[in-house]
Amino acid sequence: MQQPFPTRPFKTHGGAPVPHHKNTWQAPSVVMPPPARVVIPMQQHIGAPCRPTVKKGDYVYLGQVVGDSDAYVCAPIHASVSGTVAEITQVMLTGGQMTEAVVVESDGKMEKDPAIAPPAPITNKKQLADAARRAGLVGLGGAGFPAHVKLNVPEGKEIDTLIINVAECEPYVTSDHREALENGQNVLEGIYKVKEILGVHRVLIAIEDNKPDVIEKLREIADDPQKDPQDEVRVLPLKSRYPQGAEKVLVQACTGRKVPPGALPADVGCLVMNIASVSFLASYMRTGMPLTLKRVTIDGSAIKEPKNVIVPIGTPIQKVVEFCGGYKAEPRKLLMGGPMMGIAITSDELPILKQNNAILAFDAQEARLYETTACIRCGRCVAACPMELMPTKLEKAAEKKDVEALLSLDVMTCMECGCCAFSCPAGRRLVQAIRLGKSYVKKAGGKK
Amino acid sequence: MEKLIVSSSPHFNGKKTTQNIMLDVIIGLAPAMAASVVVFGLRAAVVILTCVASCVLSEYLSRRVMKRPQTVGDLSCVVTGILLALNLPVTINPLMAVFGSVAAIVVVKQMFGGIGQNFVNPALTARIILMNSFPAPMTHWTAAFDYGATADAVTTATPLAAYAGFNETGGHIPYLDMFLGRTGGCLGETCALAILIGGIYLIVRKVISPVIPVTYLATVAVFSALLGRDPLFDLLAGGLMLGAFFMATDYTTSPLYFKARIVFAVGCGLLTVVIREFGSLPEGVSYSIVLMNILTPLIERYVKPTAFGKVKEKKGKGAR
């Protein structure tokens, strides 16, 4: 059954007027030459880590599997350069946890794995999910959830809407923007494929209205009556208000449906895919080349030449920054991801991961920590929360480690988008407190 | 490379600070202050300055004595001072004004932990303390534009006192006079126009949401009409406008979110009319707001927002 297409987005709650800082949207992406060595961590997704399938001294081709696991929620990892495995080592990831990593010394030839060939034509859901797994695809929007798990919609859950996420609401980040402009055809090809296989008759390409060029471009391609005779793929411009691209908010803006706490978009008949993911699927089906490259926005006040770079996964951040002209000021804060939800990292020696969409380097001025004063109960955090929670009360409950209160305030529904802390005139570290609160709840075993 | 700063996201924050919010409130109060000087003369400015100065000093000293971080800079004590002054008659003895300021800042605000911690509105509570301590000087009203009037001069009735039949009959005061402030009363309550301008400024600047003032005023109008009173008169008289826009919207002592704010404002409105109609006092705004301040935690406990996507348990299982 086809659902009607919305002409304008549905109302969403709260949000924050974050500055856009989309400095890099106009510049075409640049392909970075392969670095001398890449460090490929075995954990680049949500779920079980991979185990290295190669050992020191092995020769690896570009695109060859170097890490895999039998676990279901896991995506294999491929070599992003050809060369010799220098070592299997331990690296620290953003969350502070250690994981194994395969270090490949590049031979500079980028020799493709001869086994790589276009996959057999995909006709059903199972094959699509398998292909996504073989390709090593994870959600490229930032979360890194293995795509085959998402695409393998459980029986009994009917998907009537496919949402393509081009909201890109995080400040600075423009990698999806460039993807749309540079690979629009590819994106649509991927959309048609996924739509056909999943049997979905309503596809919404959701784009924040601060990207009129993307809206125009994708509309132009999507309006091709030959490929889409029923006009089942349409562009839906969204209000430019952070966090439109957050999955639950996006589903609400596109369909008016609210994903219940602890549920997935599939529970309300939606499947959300990032534009880069769907575009990658299209090229994988054409070439069989797994995920080894990632378009990353390099920006921030400490970067000399901000731009979008297509980087071999595993390239140390340092090398990518050097490729962008280096630092123009002493970096004081390095972020993986955007300023609202990105993670501050401890060193620029960390490698680029599959799900990275941006690396930001802030100078002293931009990295300055703001002062915290007393809560004045102004209610701005409550008004800003897209999940309709009460951040200030959550903060107080977290300070008291009151698990019962935290649960009654639905702490687990928080998606840590940062709207509350952004809006707080007292500069309170609300998200930090809520994260702590979540950890107390988890420790108490009450995830509900 | 120097050590990098690692902190929890978000790594951006907005431009609003407590200080610039309070500055906006001060700007919002400027028309009312100006009107008070026009209506009551320069003595009004003296009362305002006395209150502000003693509030700032009280805040500074109490933070010093308690060895806590200095908070004078957030300007909230200036707002308290102005609001208290606007709630006093122009003939008030400056010492009484100082006493009220000290009570507002030291007793009501700082003893409970300072900004954000007090459970009742400091300025209103100070006004109530003064009303009970010095009933006569606190209800000694001079006529508008009677700049020379002293505490011994002929007094005039406020429109509300006239309405309640308290003083010598005031007769029917024209609405326009009440709207423009050509009546007796406290410094800041006579000119509804000035308060409206300031209130609209605060709403436009998103310092306050219109929920509380609009609900409060609407409740008063409706309930006043139901009781057979004159709704327009009730809206323009007394401290209602000042209370609705500047006191009931006080962040700390009013609820955090929409639903509870509605309940709070309706409560304020009902109490105001009840006190005006049945109470032995002519004016009910300060008491009704303070009473609802005290009820705020209770309201927040029973009127809660529903988290995103959460299905209320009581609403049956069929709900989508």
Rounded to an integer, the average pLDDT of B178-206 is: 88
What is the C-alpha to C-alpha distance for residues A4 and A72, in angstroms, rounded to an integer? 35
User: Which chain B residue has its CA at the smallest distance from A384's CA?
Assistant: B257
Q: Are A178 and A308 in contact (CB under 8 A)?
A: yes
pLDDT at res. B107 = 95
Share of chain B above pLDDT 70, in %: 88
Q: Name residues of chain A where pLDDT drops below 70.
A: 1-2, 446-448
Rounded to an integer, the average pLDDT of B155-168 is: 57
Q: Are the Cβ atoms of A424 and B13 closer than 8 angstroms? A: yes
User: Which chain A residue has its CA at the smallest distance from B7's CA?
Assistant: A344
The mean-pLDDT minimum among A307-311, B27-31, B184-188 falls in B184-188
Q: Which of B259, B307, B258, B310 is nearest to A385 (CA)?
A: B307
Nearest to B308 among A387, A416, A422 (CB): A387
What is the C-alpha to C-alpha distance for residues B185 and B157, in angstroms, rounded to an integer? 8
The pair of three-digit structure tokens given for residue A431, joined into one six-digit string: 């998200």
Q: Are the Cβ atoms of A332 and B311 closer than 8 angstroms? A: no
Q: Are the Cβ atoms of A362 and B74 closer than 8 angstroms? A: no
Nearest to A425 among B8, B18, B311 (CB): B18
Nearest to B307 among A17, A367, A389 (CB): A389
Largest CA distance in chain B: 81
Give the confidence band of B315 by pLDDT, cuts at 50, 70, 90: very low
The mean-pLDDT minimum among A135-149, A403-417, B138-152, B243-257 falls in B138-152
Q: How far, CA to CA in Å, does A115 sit from each of A52, A61, A68, A112, B299?
A: 19, 10, 17, 8, 67
Domain ranges across chain B: 18-303
Q: What is the CATH number of domain B18-303?
A: 1.10.3430
pLDDT at res. B170 = 45
Question: Which stretches within A45-183 are classed as H helix?
Answer: 125-134, 147-151, 175-182
Superfamily of domain A125-287: NADH-ubiquinone oxidoreductase 51kDa subunit (3.40.50.11540)
pLDDT at res. A205 = 96
The separation between the first and the last C-alpha atoms of chain B, rounded to the nearest angstrom, is: 54
pLDDT at res. B319 = 38
CA distance B52 to chain A (A): 20
Best mutation target, A378, A406, A412, A417, to test chain B (most B CBs within 10 A): A378
Q: How far, CA to CA in Å, does A184 sit from each of A181, A380, B45?
A: 6, 39, 66
What is the C-alpha to C-alpha distance for residues A76 and A69, in angstroms, rounded to an integer? 7
pLDDT of B163 > 70? The answer is no
The mean-pLDDT minimum among A328-332, B88-92, B145-149, B278-282 falls in B145-149
For chain B, the residue count is: 320
Q: How far, CA to CA in Å, does A324 sit from each of A296, A302, A327, A347, B106?
A: 12, 11, 8, 17, 57
pLDDT of B205 > 60? The answer is yes
pLDDT at res. A154 = 84
pLDDT of B218 > 60? The answer is yes
Q: Are the Cβ atoms of B257 and A431 closer than 8 angstroms? A: no
pLDDT at res. A140 = 87
Q: Which of A141, A159, A140, A221 is nearest to A187 (CA)?
A: A221
Rounded to an integer, the average pLDDT of B53-66 is: 96
Question: Which stretches within A256-355 are classed as H helix?
Answer: 275-287, 317-323
Give the confidence band of B165 by pLDDT, cuts at 50, 70, 90: very low
pLDDT at res. B95 = 95
Best mutation target, A327, A330, A373, to test chain B (most B CBs within 10 A): A373
Nearest to A425 among B1, B16, B256 (CB): B16
b/e sequence B156-190, b meaning 16+ C-beta within 10 Å: bbbbbbbbbebbeebeebebeebbbbbbbbbbbbb
pLDDT at res. B151 = 52
Q: How far, CA to CA in Å, does A342 sit from each of A56, A206, A241, A398?
A: 33, 22, 18, 22
What is the C-alpha to C-alpha distance for residues A133 and A190, in angstroms, rounded to an integer? 16
How many CA within 13 A on the CB side of residue B244?
A: 33
Q: Which of A218, A23, A47, A223 is nearest to A136 (CA)?
A: A47
Give the confidence band of B167 by pLDDT, cuts at 50, 70, 90: very low
Give the confidence band of B168 by pLDDT, cuts at 50, 70, 90: very low
pLDDT at res. B317 = 41
pLDDT at res. B318 = 41
* Chain B residue set in contact with A, beta carbons under 8 Å: 1-2, 4-14, 16-18, 20-21, 71, 74, 76, 113-117, 209, 251-252, 255-257, 305-311
Domain ranges across chain A: 125-287, 380-443
Burial of residue B261, with CB atoms counted within 10 A of its CB: 0-12 exposed, 13-18 middle, 19 or more buried:
buried
